[in-house]
Homo-oligomer: A and B are copies of this chain.
Amino acid sequence: MARARISDVAAAAGVSTATVSLVLNDRTARITDATRDRVRRAAEEVGYTPNSVARGLRTQRSHTVGLISDRIATTPFAGRMLAGAQDVAREHGILVFLVDTDADETVEREAIRALAAQQVDAMIYACMWHRVVDAPSSLPRGTVFLDCRPADGGFPAVVPDDRAGGVAAVRALVAAGHRRIAYVDVDEPHPPVASDLRHEGYLQVLAEAGIDPDPALHVRCDTSSAGGREATDRLLDLPEDHRPTALFCFNDRIAAGAYVAAHRRGLAVPQDLSIVGYDDQQLVAADLDPPLTTVALPHYEMGRWAMEVALGIRTPDDPDAPHLMPCPIVDRDSVGPPPATAASDSRRRT
């Protein structure tokens, strides 16, 4: 039992295929209501669903979008971007091709070619983390960059507002009374966009609060639990009057390592050490003990934004600058006032 074609509907309704097409697509053509009914009933009866391939060939719109990513789909991390993009796509009857290239340029080129051959209506180029990328030359113009910025501009892009995120995180710590706040940064393995922006936010808040940044409180480590633990150990080994009372960690995994380091010394979070993470990773942030205060990456919203721009539903405010998506802070239980000794000390220094 092959799928019903438009000609089957036409035969069943006793009209031409043109009429069927006109009726089913609600074209404002001069067709009597009686005929319209007959066609619709016939379509129902034979179980007709238009063949999108044939329609796409004729109309030159495939109602598909290609989403190319380095490895979003296979990372625990950024799947919410896909969800956002998909939700918008679904709302508009669009199907999404997903290609994970594993950051392999050959695969990437081939994927772009294959997607173009499939006549996708738009493409989205997505990254696992916020970074700067060289746009592959074969990318069609109008391709939307998701969670990355094209090195030379020329494409709409959406990225998290990491600077504002850093501001929010450090402000929370300052508001709790901390003065000696460390930034446990990542050991830049990549163009360190996110890292730098969060650092800028950190510095901005210190400046606002009249706190001199202490270079010793900016440490770097591997982006892992072990790295965070080791870096935190270094910080906690500092002489007492330089020791931080709060940590702003580049991400939640590093923060998890900070917890381990603190616990090993018998320090309680947040009584003895306040910690703020970044990313709001499920399975990390909320499962820590106590639950981690962190900054959420707006993956879902970025995914939506990218798809909306790709489909032409919205246009970027400034076509030449990436759209900055706010990163909301999520308050949990890892931030408290600094310990009494440190608090008095900080007061002394003010």
Which residues of A line the B interface, CB within 8 A?
3, 49-54, 56-57, 62, 64, 71, 73-77, 79-80, 82-83, 86, 90, 93, 95-100, 107, 110-111, 113-119, 224-225, 253, 256, 260, 281-284, 287, 289
Chain B residues closer than 8 Å to A284, beta-carbon distance: 283, 287
CB-based contact B82/A74 at 8 Å = yes
Chain B residues closer than 8 Å to A110, beta-carbon distance: 90
CB-based contact B53/A119 at 8 Å = yes
The 9 A-B pairs with the shortest beta carbon distances in the complex, nearest first, are A76-B76, A225-B287, A74-B79, A74-B83, A98-B98, A52-B117, A73-B82, A52-B118, A53-B119
User: Within the complex, which residue of B50, B71, B90, B116 is in contact with A107, where a contact is CB–CB below 8 Å?
Assistant: B90
Nearest B residue to A84, CB-CB = B74
CB-based contact A49/B83 at 8 Å = no
CB-based contact B253/A53 at 8 Å = no
Chain B residues closer than 8 Å to A93, beta-carbon distance: 114
Chain B residues closer than 8 Å to A50, beta-carbon distance: 117
Q: A98-B96, A98-B98, A281-B283 are in contact. Are A53 and B260 (CB under 8 A)?
A: no
Please name 14 further chain A to chain B contacts, defined as beta carbons within 8 Å, in addition to the given A3-B116, A51-B119, A76-B283, sorted by A numbering: A49-B116, A52-B119, A53-B118, A57-B57, A75-B79, A79-B79, A82-B98, A90-B111, A95-B97, A95-B99, A95-B114, A95-B118, A96-B97, A281-B283
CB-based contact B57/A54 at 8 Å = yes
Nearest B residue to A94, CB-CB = B114
Q: Which of A90, A98, A283 has the most CB of B within 10 A?
A: A283
7 of the cross-chain contacts (CB-CB < 8 Å) are: A49-B117, A53-B62, A64-B97, A73-B98, A76-B76, A90-B107, A224-B287
CB-based contact A260/B283 at 8 Å = no
Nearest B residue to A107, CB-CB = B90
A285 CB to nearest B CB, Å: 11
Chain B residues closer than 8 Å to A57, beta-carbon distance: 51, 53-54, 57
CB-based contact A73/B83 at 8 Å = yes
Docked complex Cα distance between A115 and B62 (Å) = 12
CB-based contact A80/B90 at 8 Å = no
Chain B residues closer than 8 Å to A287, beta-carbon distance: 224-225, 253, 256, 284
Q: A56-B53, A118-B64 are in contact. Are A282 and B98 (CB under 8 A)?
A: no
Chain B residues closer than 8 Å to A114, beta-carbon distance: 52, 93, 95
Docked complex Cα distance between A93 and B110 (Å) = 9
Docked complex Cα distance between A111 and B80 (Å) = 19
Chain B residues closer than 8 Å to A77, beta-carbon distance: 76
Chain B residues closer than 8 Å to A83, beta-carbon distance: 71, 73-74, 100
CB-based contact A86/B62 at 8 Å = no
A86 CB to nearest B CB, Å: 6
Docked complex Cα distance between A191 and B113 (Å) = 43
Q: A76-B283, A119-B53 are in contact. Are A86 and B99 (CB under 8 A)?
A: yes
CB-based contact A253/B283 at 8 Å = yes
CB-based contact B86/A100 at 8 Å = yes
Docked complex Cα distance between A224 and B286 (Å) = 10
Docked complex Cα distance between A111 and B74 (Å) = 22
Docked complex Cα distance between A292 and B50 (Å) = 52
